[in-house]
């Protein structure tokens, strides 16, 4: 047995409270290296006494080998501690020997594990892992509506223009970041029936507060809708109309930095360290402005510039907030509360959330939940995000742990086996209560459009959407992608939505409508685990209670015959056509073909 591969950590992705009663426990071994893993667990205070001997009231239960990657097996179990407290350790059987794996050391046991009133290190609770208490307050308590949401991301300037104020032709190419095309709030109101018909139940807006750019990530006024988009009252009407249709509204909070034009920072530009707002920012060196200004007082930047104050990246247009400062903190938290209380928004997406202090993120969540109990808080984290997802800060993140393996697979950077391996590892190491609320995306305003990533192959794009919709978490559609909008990196990925339906890919649009409905009808779509069934394809099975779905996928430009394991040679119903289907030893799929079948 490879002892170096064994791993567990309490209060982590290996041990977490699924809810206020259930504990999920994961244990790692080398792949195909052990015969079994059992869990010994109980309440540390639950002892009985007989003949002056003490007996710990514990249980020894078998763990399930739930996940296997190229390197490791992951054993899983869900337990419900009797009185919310849990001490636990692992009994490993390998090479016909038994090993006790505790929090401090591993020991080989002679013979079988001790039972009844026998003494021995197996019941030395000082060597047990501890989950001291399943406190309700420590739960994320993510609003129940989140996991069932289908999101739609809108970049306001490019979605739809009601006012038609812009002098630029709508949908002109190429797109430039400094251009304003006239998309506005009333334009979104005009298109709410379209979103409802598509099946959308949540809108996430990139920033819409006053700033000098089209992207609005350089906020000037956190309490004012940018006049380019409309007024605060226009936005109030938008939220009301969206809510009438059962559509939630989430805004983008840029709390890591503000814009150059923000009054606090402009006071610093004018008065330097004598400004009353100087400590709202990180002024590292003098002179604070180590660059020239234009006649209108804007920074003149260049690629080698490193400002003497901290910024987002190295752009002088985005000075970083010191959220530990009371003035800055109050200003930002007041804005968080303002839009929830005064306009009834449903949550916040936190820009660059992994660069904002954990302490301040906790305050953001507290203020949000105090203003409205069922607000949803999710962040922009591009890397593994467990430190942010322990219940005290954010409910979820933009799920790049899912997106990046998908992108790399579809880009041809990893093969199908590595893709399945990375999906399995992601599934194993992401807590299930977190995974179901993740914000899943194929593309955003920060990435290449998925269609362009696939070299504008609409048929392959359908497979990508099937994979996203068949993943745990809430799927997001980046505006226009549902009708085939394409584009390279920023700014080309921010093209205007072409509302001329003759330009749309109607079969893609219909598939996405169908997938949205299928997720509602078939809970197996939303389950966490992929059970891959075929080495030659990315086909898989998903289970939910008594429902099982078979996803047969040919991600190839040629027709293929999939060899079906006898365990799956059964009778099914095609979820699209509702027709009965008999699956035999071979199933032929055309190029980029797919079937989603429900076990009868």
Distance CA 366, CA 356 (A): 15
Dihedral (CA of 529, 461, 509, 571) sign: negative
Contact 8/14 with Cβ under 8 angstroms? yes
For Cα atoms 159, 164, 166, give the angle at the middle one, nearest 5 degrees. 90
Distance CA 191, CA 152 (A): 12
Decide if 83 is catalytic: no
Contact 119/143 with Cβ under 8 angstroms? no
Residues in contact with 60: Cβ distance below 8 Å, sequence separation at least 6, in sequence order = 38, 39, 40, 91, 113
Distance CA 448, CA 121 (A): 57
Q: Estimate the share of the chain in helix, then strand, then coil, as percent rounded to the nearest 5.
A: 30, 25, 45
Distance CA 571, CA 324 (A): 61
Q: Which among 226, 380, 422, 555 is annotated as catalytic? A: 380
Residues in contact with 106: Cβ distance below 8 Å, sequence separation at least 6, in sequence order = 3, 6, 99, 100
Decide if 351 is catalytic: yes
53-76: burial string, b at 16+ Cβ within 10 Å, e else: eeebebeeeebebbbebeebbbbb
- φ, ψ for residue 109 (rounded to 5)? -95, 140
Distance CA 70, CA 541 (A): 20
As a whole number of angstroms, the longest Cα–Cα distance in the chain is 92
Long-range Cβ contacts of 382-386 (<8 Å, 24+ apart): 382/354, 383/354, 385/354, 386/12, 386/13, 386/431
Residue for token pair 């406190």: 135
Catalytic residue list:
351, 380
């Amino acid at each position: 047995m490879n002892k170096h591969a064994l791993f567990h950590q309490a209060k982590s992705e290996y041990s977490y409270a699924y809810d206020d009663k259930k504990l999920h426990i994961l244990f790692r071994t080398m792949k195909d290296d052990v015969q079994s893993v059992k869990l010994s667990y109980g309440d540390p205070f639950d002892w009985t006494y007989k003949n002056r001997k003490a007996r710990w009231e514990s249980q020894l239960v078998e763990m399930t080998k739930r996940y296997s990657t190229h390197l490791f097996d992951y054993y899983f179990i869900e337990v419900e501690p009797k009185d919310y407290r849990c001490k636990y350790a692992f009994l490993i059987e390998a090479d016909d020997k038994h090993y006790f794996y505790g929090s401090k050391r591993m020991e080989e046991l002679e013979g079988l594990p001790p039972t009844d009133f026998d003494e021995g290190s197996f019941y030395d609770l000082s060597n047990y892992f501890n989950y001291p208490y399943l406190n309700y307050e420590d739960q994320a308590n993510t609003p129940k509506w989140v996991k069932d949401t289908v999101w739609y991301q809108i970049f306001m300037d490019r979605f739809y223009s009601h006012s038609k104020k812009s002098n630029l032709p709508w949908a002109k190419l190429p797109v430039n970041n400094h251009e304003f095309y006239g998309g506005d709030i009333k334009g979104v109101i005009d298109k709410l029936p379209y979103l409802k018909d598509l099946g959308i139940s949540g809108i996430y807006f990139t920033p819409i507060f006053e700033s000098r750019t089209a992207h609005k990530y350089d906020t000037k006024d956190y309490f004012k809708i940018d006049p380019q988009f409309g007024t605060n009252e226009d936005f109030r009407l938008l939220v009301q109309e969206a809510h009438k249709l059962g559509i939630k509204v989430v805004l983008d909070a840029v709390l890591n930095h503000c814009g150059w034009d923000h009054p606090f920072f402009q006071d610093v530009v004018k008065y330097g360290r004598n400004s009353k707002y100087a400590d709202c920012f990180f002024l590292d060196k003098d002179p604070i402005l180590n660059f020239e200004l234009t006649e209108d007082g804007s920074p003149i930047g260049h690629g080698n510039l490193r400002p003497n104050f901290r910024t987002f990246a190295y752009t002088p247009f985005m000075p970083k907030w010191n959220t530990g400062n009371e003035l800055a903190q109050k200003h930002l938290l007041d804005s968080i509360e303002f839009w929830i209380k005064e306009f009834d928004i449903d949550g916040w997406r936190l820009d660059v959330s992994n660069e904002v202090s954990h302490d301040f993120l906790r305050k953001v969540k507290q203020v949000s939940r105090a203003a409205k109990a069922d607000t949803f808080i999710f962040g922009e984290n591009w890397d593994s995000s467990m430190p942010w997802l322990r219940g005290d800060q954010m409910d979820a993140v933009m799920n790049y742990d899912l997106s990046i393996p998908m992108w790399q697979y579809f880009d041809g950077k990893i093969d199908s086996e590595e893709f399945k391996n990375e999906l399995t590892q992601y599934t194993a190491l992401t807590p299930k209560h977190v995974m179901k609320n993740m914000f899943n995306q194929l593309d955003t305003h920060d990435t290449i459009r998925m269609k362009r990533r696939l070299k504008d192959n609409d048929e392959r794009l359908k497979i990508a959407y099937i994979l996203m919709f068949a993943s745990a978490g809430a799927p997001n559609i980046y505006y226009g992608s549902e009708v085939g909008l394409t584009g390279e990196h920023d700014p080309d990925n921010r093209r205007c939505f072409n509302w001329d339906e003759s330009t749309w890919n109607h079969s893609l649009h219909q598939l996405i409508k169908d997938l949205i409905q299928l997720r509602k009808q078939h809970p197996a779509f939303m389950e966490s685990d992929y059970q891959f069934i075929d080495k030659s394809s990315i086909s898989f099975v998903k289970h939910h209670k008594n429902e099982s779905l078979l996803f047969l996928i040919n991600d190839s430009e040629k027709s293929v015959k999939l060899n079906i394991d006898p365990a799956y040679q059964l009778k099914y119903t095609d979820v699209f056509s509702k027709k009965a289907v008999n699956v035999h030893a071979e199933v032929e799929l055309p190029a980029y073909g797919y079937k989603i079948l429900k076990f009868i």
